Amino acid sequence: MTRKHNFYAGPAVLPLYAVTRAQEAILEYMDSGCGIAEISHRSKYFDEILDGSIATAKKLLGLGDDYHVIYVGGGASMVFAINALNFCKEGKKAQFIDSGTWASRAITEASRTKAQVDVVWSGKDVKYSHLPEPEDLQFDDDASFVHFTTNNTIYGTQFKKFPQVKAPLFADMSSDFFSRPIDANKFSMIYGGLQKNLGPAGAAMAIIRKDILENIPQGLSEMLDLSVYVKKNSIFNTPPVFTIFMTNLVLKWLDEEIGGLANMQKINEEKAGLIYNAIDSSDGFYKGAVDVKEHRSLMNITWRCKTEELEKLFLTESQTHGFMGLKGHRSVGGLRASVYNSCPMESAKTLADFMNDFAKRNG
């Protein structure tokens, strides 16, 4: 087996704790007589997995009975569309912070409705190289919702402080889900694609405060109605059984092996610190792509070399040294290391060493 240092932005590296258990379960899950990808979603085995994942997610975030946790096939992009249909109201404001490509996608979906879409701040003109300070922004108390993206996967920015609003607060947390403690009770809806911090691709987890379900209009197609997901405990249709099985394992790892979100944050700070230090101590050989240091992401680290030729050489050499996924997103270029929860410390250390050495040899 030659598992490399995996820095892909998602699907991304998963903890060996989950991968090795999945390896066994593929053949036969517990005493069920069949593999986990072959088991009924109506079996007691899957009930336990689904309910276990919900309980651990709530425990990690400190949430009680006033929140539901559901899985939505189709990923975070499906939730963009569902949110627009469920919560945009004709003539009422839906307010957004446009901090990057994914935030813009959520805005585009809302713009298809009759809501009054209000982009309170956009980083488009500065190529999303920094974020606003949330306390400087004005939000309406009676907006249908305020939506923002906590971590911008492509640009490498991350909100360290969240907007304080009276309207229901929605957050796409796809790329920093469960990576640090948050005051989850301040949110009406948190969601994210699973493929970065939680499991395989293909579905999103959404955490919804019960009271906002009342705002959903009647008559939506059932697959697009969040109250149906809640009523049917995510099994209105056949859910992604294997993906949820893996997510349950990753959440267990986070809870039992890592010891919760505060510990996870410390580890993430240390990993990201190693790589940011390689950038900042390179005497200008590398340049961080984010303008404001406080806005740098602990999950997606973005940087440039002085020339595109050097970046190409960096990528070629990095591959021969056993690193994967260091190319920046195709829309922005440059270099990016995604150091999600499951990225081992060893990978971050080895990358920082490689970066230091590469800078020395080519500076």
Ligand X SMILES: Cc1ncc(COP(=O)(O)O)c(C=O)c1O
Interacting residue ranges for ligand X, rule: CB under 6 A: 10, 75-77, 102, 149, 153, 172, 174-175, 193, 204
145-149 and 93-98 beta bridge pairing: parallel
Instruction: Give the pair of three-digit tokens for residue 173.
Output: 């947390």
CB of 104 to ligand X, least distance (A): 10
CB of 79 to ligand X, least distance (A): 8
Dihedral over alpha carbons 205, 79, 46, 237 (to 10 degrees): 170
Annotated catalytic residue: which of 93, 98, 102, 255?
Answer: 102
Active site residue 303: no
Instruction: Give the pair of three-digit tokens for residue 20.
Output: 């090795």
Annotated catalytic residue: which of 93, 98, 176, 196?
Answer: 196
Instruction: Tell me the C-alpha distance between 273 and 92, whole Å.
Output: 43
Is 305 within 8 Å of 311 (Cβ atoms)?
yes
Active site residue 196: yes
Closest-approach residue to ligand X (CB): 75
Pick between residue 53 and residue 297 the one whose CB is nearest to ligand X: 297
Pick between residue 45 and residue 177 the one whose CB is nearest to ligand X: 177
Return the number of other C-beta atoms located less than 10 Å from residue 167's C-beta: 19
Pick between residue 145 and residue 354 the one whose CB is nearest to ligand X: 145
CB of 335 to ligand X, least distance (A): 17
Annotated catalytic residue: which of 93, 98, 121, 172?
Answer: 172
Return the number of other C-beta atoms located less than 10 Å from residue 20's C-beta: 11
Instruction: Tell me the C-alpha distance between 217 and 227, whole Å.
Output: 10
CB of 300 to ligand X, least distance (A): 8
Active site residue 47: no
Give kind and range of the element (H or E) at residue 70: strand 67-73
Pick between residue 98 and residue 255 the one whose CB is nearest to ligand X: 98
Active site residues: 102, 172, 196
